[in-house]
Amino acid sequence: MYAVLYQFDVTKGQEEQFETLWQHVTEAFMIHAGGLGSRLHKNEMGSFIAYAQWPDKMTWESAKQKLPESALDNLQQMQESCNSITVVFQMTVQNDLLK
């Protein structure tokens, strides 16, 4: 299994829109591109942090190409609601004790 940790610095006032779009984009990755889901968190500094799981690195790298146009539109809107998006870590899962 492969995991990716993202940091989203969302433009003030667009947090609700971002969260809705993040959910739609995540669901599209799961339905169309082999994504295994994600969790969205908000840290004490106000940044959103997402942890996404994938079967492997290749599936993650090719996922965007498998999305339908509507999901790509949502992805673009989600990106536009952010001041910055950072891939903080790309990781191979070594041991998984989450329920």
- As a three-state string, the secondary structure of 1-52 is CEEEEEEEEECCCCHHHHHHHHHHHHHHHHHHCCCCCEEEEECCCCCEEEEE
- Which pLDDT does position 45 carry in this prediction? 95
The CATH number that domain 8-92 falls under is: 3.30.70.100
**Structural element, H or E, at residue 84:** strand 82-92
Please tell me the predicted confidence (pLDDT) of residue 93. Answer: 93
Using pLDDT thresholds of 50, 70 and 90, give the confidence band for residue 98: confident
pLDDT at 99: 83
Q: Report DSSP state, residue 96.
A: -
Give the pLDDT mean for 49-53: 97
pLDDT attached to residue 54: 98
Question: What is the band of 61 on the pLDDT scale with cuts at 50, 70, 90?
Answer: very high
Q: Where are the domains of the chain?
A: 8-92
